Amino acid sequence: MIAEAQKLLKEYYGFDSFRRGQEEIIGHILDNKNTLGIMPTGGGKSICYQIPGLILKGTAIIVSPLISLMKDQVDALETLGISATYINSSLSGEEQQNRMHKLRQGDYDFIYVASERFETNSFLYSIKQIEITFLAFDEAHCISQWGHDFRPSYRSIVSTIQNLPNIPMVMALTATATTEVVKDIQRLLSIESEAVVKTGFARENLSFHLIKGRDKHEYISDYLNKHGQESGIIYAPTRKQVDSIAHYLEGKSFSVAKYHAGLSEQKRQHEQNRFIQDEATIMVATNAFGMGIDKSNVHYVIHFALPMNIEAYYQEAGRAGRDGEPSDCILLFSGQDTHLQKFLIEQSMMDESMKSNEYKKLQSMVNYCHTDSCLQTYILHYFHDYSATEDCGRCTNCQSSGEKQNRTKEAQMVLSCVKRMDERFGAGLTAKVLKGSKDKKIKQFGFEKLSTYGLMANQTEKEITNFIHYLVAEDYLTTGDQRYPILQLTKNAEAILKGEKEIWMLREIVQQTVQTDYKEDL
Ligand code: ADP
């Protein structure tokens, strides 16, 4: 049957060969196995359910979180001469009934629905009447509370389908691959380990850049002066910032669209269309924009501030370069950024264990901003992808002049100071002790008596703090998570303290210490 899959790939889509992972995923489905496919954004997940959906008899049901995506997918299938539809709340009640009627007659090969549809009796009644090929969960991480976009209605489908005897198999597709999420999806959907297909996560055409210590507006404006003719996305964390960045860029005569949840549905649709149809080249948006949007000529994604975790970052940044052209993923970082993310976690409805998990993930994102290793490798390792044997050679850290400074002595000072402070305090107070500050907290704990007090008096507190963040990023120190970031030594610290290992740090990272901080107002 794989030969048939190959034939359809050419016949319908015009592609000569499968991309990594596609054939394997399709193979499992054709063998009637519940399957999980994990591929990066732009990796080609749609074909993984579309081709087996064409080969196997019956109607394939695709659950997708975004209504805006469904119409595009259905249009694309119809253009290929494939019978498909979607049923969602954007349609009139009459039209929904119409489509449901056709569904019961088995008229469709594919039907797209949002997860909430499984909460309506008329839909459940309809799908009980027909032959179903499989149920495919697109963006399947929405099913897991460990994912970055958990949706309870996704999760509740799991119990609903247990009462539907005519669903022979399920498939799950996602670009999120943290171990917890994968395990959770496997458990919830009964997917055996051999039917979990994970392709490498590297995107060869993406260059990751980390910008610190620059005026963010000025940086964006400089960058767009060089690249503003090309399509790109600028993500900002709050609606207010989206408005203000869009306004700033319009003032500089750039062609801008904007998107956030504070705009009316109609306005959002309008702005999205202007961007998709290349009437506006730059989209300024919150993370409400982008899921499921297949615009292939986006050639840069700029994050105006720290995203909440690496999963979200890689997914958003990964919207660049879907056409395979070289593209930039730029993160503008300032120390203040973490406050906003912590605030958002605190304000959320999550329970304590989930909050603590979010803080941990935020810490990994912060570490990304302080490492001097290859940024792409850092991300891949975060996803437990160790398949790349070389660094990317394109990111800020790979591209830096490469000149390194020996910072072993200072590292020893920091590590022994943390030890002497009983591993009970954060980076701020530790930096004060090393600086030799007269802060009253120092007196209160008697830290002025420590042998490490004032050892780094020739540096600013900010420089020392940044160096501490670097040591956290490189795993010599740990803060556990971002909630109460208390410094503790890791097992790697010992070799440094004993003088068995040296620390060489990129000169540029050493110099990026004076940061321009913005007060982010909500
Ligand atoms: P994802 O859902 O994983 O983000 P898509 O399914 O939207 O990705 O596919 C991304 C792009 O890759 C689409 O433009 C698609 O046509 C293209 N594509 C998918 N599979 C192949 C293939 N085997 N060969 C060439 N291009 C492909």
What pLDDT was estimated at residue 510?
Answer: 53
Cα(140) to centroid of ligand 1, in Å?
17
For the chain, give the percent of residues with pLDDT over 70. 96
- Nearest atom within ligand 1 for CA of residue 45: 3
For the chain, give the percent of residues with pLDDT over 90. 71
Averaged over 228-240, what is the pLDDT? 95
Tokens of 122: 């008329």
Question: How far is Cα 209 from Cα 217, in angstroms, rounded to an integer?
Answer: 16
Task: Give the pocket of ligand 1 (CB within 6 Å).
Answer: 15, 18-19, 22, 39, 41-47, 294, 296, 322
CA-proximal residue: ligand 1, atom 19 (nearest): 44
Classify 198 as helix, strand or coil: strand
CA-proximal residue: ligand 1, atom 9 (nearest): 44
- Nearest atom within ligand 1 for CA of residue 39: 3
- The residue among 1 and 233 whose pLDDT is bigger is 233
What pLDDT was estimated at residue 522?
Answer: 31
Averaged over 11-16, what is the pLDDT? 91
Question: How far is Cα 427 from Cα 467, in angstroms, rounded to an integer?
Answer: 10
pLDDT-based confidence at residue 405 (cuts at 50, 70, 90): confident
Q: Where are the beta strands (DSSP E) in 414-481?
A: 477-478
The neighbour count for residue 484, using CB atoms within 10 Å, is: 9
What pLDDT was estimated at residue 204?
Answer: 87
Most confident of 338-347, 433-442, 513-522: 433-442
What is the maximum alpha-carbon separation in the chain? 83
Across 104-108, 114-118, 135-139, 518-522, least confident range: 518-522
Cα(323) to centroid of ligand 1, in Å?
9
pLDDT-based confidence at residue 428 (cuts at 50, 70, 90): very high
pLDDT over threshold 60, residue 519: no
Question: What interhelical angle do 352-368 and 375-382 show, nearest 10?
Answer: 160
- Nearest atom within ligand 1 for CA of residue 43: 3
Model pLDDT for residues 201-211, shown as the tens digit of each residue: 888 899 999 99
- Nearest atom within ligand 1 for CA of residue 42: 4
pLDDT-based confidence at residue 146 (cuts at 50, 70, 90): confident
pLDDT over threshold 60, residue 138: yes
What pLDDT was estimated at residue 511?
Answer: 52
Distance between the two ends of the chain, CA-based, in angstroms?
55
What pLDDT was estimated at residue 509?
Answer: 58
pLDDT-based confidence at residue 514 (cuts at 50, 70, 90): very low
Cα(52) to centroid of ligand 1, in Å?
15
pLDDT over threshold 60, residue 297: yes
Burial (CB count within 10 angstroms: exposed 0-12, middle 13-18, buried 19+), residue 408 = middle
CA-proximal residue: ligand 1, atom 4 (nearest): 42
Cα(47) to centroid of ligand 1, in Å?
7
- Nearest atom within ligand 1 for CA of residue 13: 16
Residues 6+ apart with CB under 8 A from 114: 63, 64, 65, 66, 67, 70, 88, 89, 153
| Average per-residue pLDDT for the chain | 90
| Geometric angle at alpha carbon 41, from 10 and 398, rounded to 5° | 115
User: Which residue's entry shows tokens 């919207």?
Assistant: 319
User: Which residue's entry shows tokens 């976009």?
Assistant: 149
Classify 235 as helix, strand or coil: strand
CA-proximal residue: ligand 1, atom 12 (nearest): 44
Cα(15) to centroid of ligand 1, in Å?
10
Tell me the C-alpha to C-alpha distance, in Å, between residue 271 and each of 19, 71, 253, 289: 33, 17, 17, 11
Cα(38) to centroid of ligand 1, in Å?
14
CA-proximal residue: ligand 1, atom 5 (nearest): 44
Tokens of 225: 């002066």
CA-proximal residue: ligand 1, atom 20 (nearest): 44
Question: What interhelical angle do 375-382 and 310-317 show, nearest 10?
Answer: 120
pLDDT-based confidence at residue 508 (cuts at 50, 70, 90): low
Averaged over 318-347, what is the pLDDT? 90
**Phi/psi-derived region of residue 229, left when phi > 0, alpha when psi is between -120 and 50, beta in every other case:** alpha
Cα(319) to centroid of ligand 1, in Å?
12
What pLDDT was estimated at residue 354?
Answer: 86
Question: How far is Cα 73 from Cα 109, in angstroms, rounded to an integer?
Answer: 13
Residues 6+ apart with CB under 8 A from 450: 417, 420, 421, 433
State the pTM of this model: 0.74
